[in-house]
Each structure stands twice: as C-alpha cells, then as structure tokens.
Amino acid sequence: MRNWVHLDKEYIWHPFTQMREWLQADNIIIERADGVYLYDTNGNKYLDGISSLWVNIHGHRKKEIDEAIINQINKVSHSTLLGLGSSPSIELAEKLVQISPPKLQKVFYSDSGSTAVEVALKIAFQYWKNRGYEEKRLFVGLDQAYHGDTIGSVSLGGIDIFHSIFHPLLFHTLVIPTPFPYRNPDLTAEQLRDQCLNTFEKIAEERGSEIAALIVEPLVQGAAGMIVHPEGFLKGLETICRKHKILLICDEVATGFGRTGAMFACEQEAVEPDILCLAKGLTGGYLPLAATLVSNEIFEAFLGSYTEYKTFFHGHSYTGNALACAAAQACLEIFEKDHVLENLEPRIMFLENLLREKLGALPHVGDIRQCGMMVGIELVEDKALRRTFPVELGMGVRVTQDIRKHGIILRPLGDVVVIMPPLAIEIDEIKTMVTAVEKSINEMCGI
C-alpha cells in the first residue's frame, strides 16, 4: 500500500495551512465517504462535522446526485457558454430564478464563491458606468467580512490575519462596523444594530453618489467566527441602500441552500438583493460551481450595440460546466422531494437545546452562536471577563484535533469551534457530535 501521509507531504501545498506544522503532523487522508461519514486510508470513520468545509448538503454518495452526474457524463461533460448554450445550465438557471427572491431574473455562472463575488463587484461597477453614473464606483463592506480569496473579494474582506498582508494590492473600500453582540456587552442587540446602521446611513448620506454597492453576508458572518447579526440588521441595510440608490449584494456563498433554515438567508428578513452570490452548497458539495444572480434592471443596463462597449467582458473556461449543473439540479430536486427544509426545523431546535444544555454552563465556553445549522462556540479563558485564551495556545485547534479521537472532523476559526454538519445529519448523530465537543472542550481547556 502507498504511504499516503508521506506522499501528501511530498507533493501537496494545502490551503490556509502553515505547511511546517502540517509536515510535522500525523495527517488524515480521506479515501471515501458515505452519508455524513468520511473514511480515511486506514479505514477510520469520521463524522463530517463541517460538511467538508461548508459545501456538503445531503451527505456524500447521495444516490440521486451520483446518478445525475453519471447520466450527464453519458451526454457531455463540458461545452462552453461562450457562443453556445448548454441545456443543463439552462435548466439549473430556470430553477435558481424560481427559488430565489423574485427580483433576481438572470444567472451568471462561475466556479467558486470568490469568483461569484468578483463577478458581482464587476457587474455592480459596470452597471453604474453603463448608465452614465461614472462616479458611483466605491464599495461598502462590513468589518470582519469574508468574501473569498481573489483580489477583488479580498478588497472587501476584513479579517486581518487573512487579508492585511495583501493590503498594497487591494482597491479602496468603505467599511462599516459589524454588529457583534458578544463583543459589545454594554449595548443591547437592538442598540448595537441601530448604531451600526446609523454609521452606514451617515456614509450613504455623505457619499451615496460615489457608492456603487454594499456587500454583506446576510444574517451570519461565517469566516469571522459565525457572528450572527441582530434581527432587523439586514432589513435595515436594504432600506438604506434603496433610499440612496446603492446596489445591495448578498453573499450567500455560506448561508445559501438551507444552511440557516430557509433556502436563502435573505428570505428570513424578506430582503431582495439586487445581486445574489451562490456557490459552496450549490452542487450539494460535489463539484465547483457558482452563480451570480442579478435583477432584470441590472441585466438591461448591459444591452446595447457591440460598439457601445456595454458588454460584460468576463467569463471562465469552465463557466456553466454541464456536470456541475447536473449535480446542482439534482441537489435542488432533493430539497423538494425529501422535504429537506421542513425536516430540518426539529433538528435545528434539537441542536439548539443540546448546545445550551451540554455546553452553556461550561467555564470555557463564552458564547454559543447559532443560526440554523451554522454554529460557532467561542472558547474563552475567563468566562465572566470574556477574556480570550492567548493565541499561542491555539485552543481552537487543540480542541478540534482532540475531537478526532471521538471520530469527528471539525475545523475551528481561531478559538471558535465551528459546527456545520450536512443538513442530512440525524438527531442521534447531532447528539454524538455535541457530546464529543463537550468532552474535548473539558479535556483541552480544563473544567
């Protein structure tokens, strides 16, 4: 048998990874998967507690998705959308338009969350230019936002350890504060929300004529550590955008496809973005595919004769890939056929109660944040003072490494333990997972 751990170290540069640590570690190499479980090259079984980095929805080896891809392979795996149409991409786009907020009518495909955002930014920028508002070219983002790793999406990113190093390469943006209740204990969630909205309102009043769009992760800022916004924040942002003719871009790359309990997070506050970015869960976690949905109003601003240069000159080689579109189509059919969202509700409630019961009183759990199946558990050294552990301790990593011995895969965000299982997870599997989290937190942080 080949020594996979060794060969991986020989050839692979892993993303978001300090490779010196990786090269010294005893790493897990995944060979196969089934349902919510991953199996490594030694035959060990692990519950996929983070949906393979937030992408998996209905579990691995889901029969309907496997078959949809195989059926599509037997027709064609890929043909270009430049100059040609492709039936799976049309079918999927029709479906996406049906299930997303009514304002969104056109679908632009790409391959990852980052490119979905990149496309959204370029469309917003050119939209105003095409309409003759040359000065509307600034973007507003939120503090601690994460929108991907390409230069445009990093420009709107606010997570210092990921983004500050690239600062000289980025374009200028305006940043508004994130309403993060746990870090602002002196205010009520409503006061905090209104304070952040007021900051945006003020910027919009002063510079609205220069602002193309606001981009926001609706309801939950995932990579920032599962920061759940106070109720009404998203609606408030939308109201200000409308008033000052600022486009609203919702980045639902993480929150989309049921993760917050609704198909899309923006539905929960009856918000209709002008542009919607989708990726991660779109193919159920099978293949790289992204979509940027826009309103007819935006689409129409790009119409004209070729020499007017209103064309959107952007596209990737694998845009609208047929296999990925077939997988996505099957993934969306499962939502309907298996009543996934309806069945999710009791599981979300169960998870919420169990987290409170098992972890709520632990001395080193400072905050438990949850929105649907997105959970962040903040580890602290001193609960009463909300004091964090020293960074050198790497407490988040320690806890999530320890939990592997209980047969669970998690990946932290700093000292926030993230739980984000496939929507297909069963009640008893939720219980196994939360019980193991409790054990590992107690063992690693001390009781």
Ligand X SMILES: *Cc1c(COP(=O)(O)O)cnc(C)c1O
Whichever of 47 and 253 has its CB closer to ligand X, that residue is: 253
By the criterion CB under 6 A, which residues form the site for ligand X?
112-114, 117, 146-148, 217, 222-223, 251, 253-254, 279-280
Minimum gap (Å) between residue 217 Cβ and ligand X: 5
Minimum gap (Å) between residue 258 Cβ and ligand X: 15
Whichever of 251 and 378 has its CB closer to ligand X, that residue is: 251
Minimum gap (Å) between residue 194 Cβ and ligand X: 24
Q: E-strand spans in 255-310?
A: 275-278, 290-295
Minimum gap (Å) between residue 75 Cβ and ligand X: 26
Minimum gap (Å) between residue 112 Cβ and ligand X: 4
Whichever of 72 and 114 has its CB closer to ligand X, that residue is: 114
Give the 3-state secondary structure of the chain: CCCHHHHHHHHCCCCCCCHHHHHHCCCCCEEEEEECEEEECCCCEEEECCHHHHCCCCCECCHHHHHHHHHHHCCCCCCCCCCCCCHHHHHHHHHHHHHCCCCEEEEEEECCHHHHHHHHHHHHHHHHHHCCCCCCCEEEEECCCCCCCCHHHHHCCCCHHHHHHHHHHCCCCEEECCCCHHHCCCCCHHHHHHHHHHHHHHHHHHHHHHEEEEEECCCEECCCCCEECCCCHHHHHHHHHHHCCCEEEEECCCCCCCCCCCCCHHHHHCCCCCEEEECHHHHCCCCCCEEEEEEHHHHHCCCCCHHHCCCCCCCCCCCCCHHHHHHHHHHHHHHHHCCHHHHHHHHHHHHHHHHHHHHCCCCCEEEEEEECCEEEEEECCECCCCECCCHHHCHHHHHHHHHHHHCEECCCECCEEEECCCCCCCHHHHHHHHHHHHHHHHHHHCC
Whichever of 227 and 330 has its CB closer to ligand X, that residue is: 227
CA atoms of 256 and 285, how far apart (whole Å): 12
Whichever of 56 and 112 has its CB closer to ligand X, that residue is: 112
Q: Give the 3-state secondary structure percentages of the chain, helix then strand then coil, rounded to 5.
A: 45, 15, 40
Say whether 347 sits in a helix, a strand or coil: helix
Strand-pair category, 220-221 with 45-48? unpaired
Minimum gap (Å) between residue 110 Cβ and ligand X: 10
Rounded (10°) angle between helices 322-337 and 340-359: 80
Whichever of 120 and 441 has its CB closer to ligand X, that residue is: 120
Minimum gap (Å) between residue 150 Cβ and ligand X: 8
Minimum gap (Å) between residue 225 Cβ and ligand X: 12
Whichever of 49 and 113 has its CB closer to ligand X, that residue is: 113
Whichever of 246 and 278 has its CB closer to ligand X, that residue is: 278
Minimum gap (Å) between residue 93 Cβ and ligand X: 19
Whichever of 93 and 154 has its CB closer to ligand X, that residue is: 154
Which residue's C-beta sits nearest to ligand X? 113
Whichever of 263 and 365 has its CB closer to ligand X, that residue is: 263
Minimum gap (Å) between residue 124 Cβ and ligand X: 16
